[in-house]
Amino acid sequence: MGTPDFSVPALKHLAIQDDFDISLVVTQPDRPKGRGKKLIPPPVKTAALELGMDVFQPEKINTAQAKDRLLSLEPDFFVVVAYGNILSQDILDIPKIMPINIHASLLPKYRGAAPIQAAILNMEATTGVTTMVMSKGLDSGDILLTSQTPISDQDTAQDLHNRLGEMGASLIIKTIHGILNHTITPEPQDTAKATYAGMLMKKDGQINWRLPAKNIVAHVNAMTPWPGAFTRLRGKPTKIFKALASDTHSNFEPGVIFQCDKDGIHVSTGKGSLIILELMGGSGKHLAAMDFLRGAKITPPIPFDL
């Protein structure tokens, strides 16, 4: 059970195992996208059809019809990866062995919808993936296995998303083999250490120039690619894709562009300064700072809109 790109590596890894048989792929219905509102299949459906697998796309999973379909398969496991629907206890009880979820954090940290962005935003040194036994609570089930990876100060949410997707795909194979070989014992989570990462909204991308520069870099990285770290220049939306923190201090208020040079666009912040390397302005083009400046002349000092 999965829907977005993050779920696809796990599906593909499971599909090539000689000792596993994927009896069904469950994903969200096709959704209208773009100006023409054309129905677009979720990435998991596309991958499953390429692999020659049966696909089930119920609008609601917790129905008698869906339950009967799943029961008829007599599955040993459910593997759930960013499916996008909460499973009822009736559905969770269907697998003969257990339902397993792949979650993109080191639980119990960052339960919830946006664990990748939260880890970057909070400048964690490491993150990872966890396989757990699914329960009715939000990401609260017993832990099976974990796998860790460092977070660099240049890792965006997209970078980490791609890396963790592959890590989760490897981890689910180890997890199922470990369960079948009786070498894994589920461990309860320490609920006292649980933290939550709620679903992101577009407004979360707005840059607060009063923060220290290193926090703004983390924000830019966490919000890339969605919802995007944004501000406004001369009243026009400006999205920032890549930036560096500098210890250079200016005497200007936070959010003021005080220098433009070959290194980038230098902006004062609450502590230190930010050097913008890649951005997008009114042209709608993702540009390096120097290319942006050729088309949008900036004469410092000039403030971003706070």
- Round to whole Å and give the CA distance between 278 and 27: 35
* Residue 127, domain extent: 5-197
Average pLDDT over every residue of 200-206: 97
For residue 68, how many C-alpha atoms fall within 13 Å in the half-sphere facing its CB?
3
Identify whether residues 270 and 240 lie together within a single domain: yes
Average pLDDT over every residue of 184-202: 96
Taking the whole predicted model, whether its pTM rises above 0.85 is answered as yes
**pLDDT at site 282:** 81
**pLDDT at site 301:** 96
**pLDDT at site 235:** 87
Tell me how many degrees the CA angle 87-88-91 measures, rounded to the nearest 5: 80
- CATH number at 245 reads 3.10.25.10
Radius of gyration of the chain (CA): 22
Identify whether residues 233 and 84 lie together within a single domain: no
The H or E element containing residue 15 is: helix 8-15
Average pLDDT over every residue of 73-92: 96
Structure tokens at 164: 């963790």
- Round to whole Å and give the CA distance between 279 and 67: 48
Identify whether residues 122 and 186 lie together within a single domain: yes
Question: Could you tell me the sign of the dihedral formed by the alpha carbons of 186, 192, 198, 203, in that order?
Answer: negative
Averaged pLDDT of the chain: 96
Average pLDDT over every residue of 130-156: 96
Identify whether residues 191 and 144 lie together within a single domain: yes
- Strand locations in 104-255 (E): 111-112, 126-133, 143-150, 196-197, 229-233, 236-246
Count of other CB atoms within 10 angstroms of residue 72 = 10
Identify whether residues 121 and 219 lie together within a single domain: no
**pLDDT at site 295:** 87
Question: Using CB atoms within 10 A of its CB, is residue 24 exposed (0-12), middle (13-18) or buried (19+)?
Answer: middle
Q: Which of 57-61, 219-223, 292-296 has the lowest mean pLDDT?
A: 292-296
- CATH number at 12 reads 3.40.50.170
Q: Which amino acid is at 194?
A: A
- Round to whole Å and give the CA distance between 62 and 93: 12
Identify whether residues 219 and 124 lie together within a single domain: no
**pLDDT at site 33:** 87
Q: Which of 171, 197, 223 is the last residue of a domain?
A: 197
Percent of the chain with pLDDT over 70: 100
Alpha-helix residue ranges (DSSP H) falling in 89-156: 89-92, 115-121
Please check the confidence at residue 37 and state whether its pLDDT lies above 90.
no
**pLDDT at site 106:** 98
Q: Which of 197, 229, 259 is the last residue of a domain?
A: 197
Identify whether residues 104 and 117 lie together within a single domain: yes
Place of tokens 């400048």: 123
Q: What is the pLDDT of residues 144-160, one digit of tens each?
A: 999 999 999 999 999 99
Identify whether residues 107 and 41 lie together within a single domain: yes
- Round to whole Å and give the CA distance between 218 and 121: 5
Identify whether residues 168 and 53 lie together within a single domain: yes
Q: What is the pLDDT of residues 222-279, one digit of tens each?
A: 999 999 999 999 888 999 999 999 999 889 999 999 999 999 999 999 999 999 999 9
Alpha-helix residue ranges (DSSP H) falling in 64-156: 64-72, 89-92, 115-121
Please check the confidence at residue 133 and state whether its pLDDT lies above 80.
yes
- Round to whole Å and give the CA distance between 124 and 149: 11
User: How many distinct structural domains can be found in the chain?
Assistant: 2
Please check the confidence at residue 36 and state whether its pLDDT lies above 90.
no
**pLDDT at site 234:** 87
Identify whether residues 135 and 245 lie together within a single domain: no
- Round to whole Å and give the CA distance between 169 and 165: 6
Instruction: Name the band, by pLDDT with cuts 50, 70 and 90, for residue 216.
Output: very high
Identify whether residues 135 and 73 lie together within a single domain: yes
**pLDDT at site 107:** 98
Please check the confidence at residue 206 and state whether its pLDDT lies above 90.
yes
Q: Of 238, 183, 248, 168, which is closest to residue 206 (Cα–Cα)?
A: 238
Identify whether residues 154 and 234 lie together within a single domain: no
Percent of the chain with pLDDT over 90: 93
| φ/ψ bin of 34: left (φ > 0), alpha (ψ from -120 to 50), beta (otherwise) | left
Q: Which of 177, 197, 217 is the last residue of a domain?
A: 197
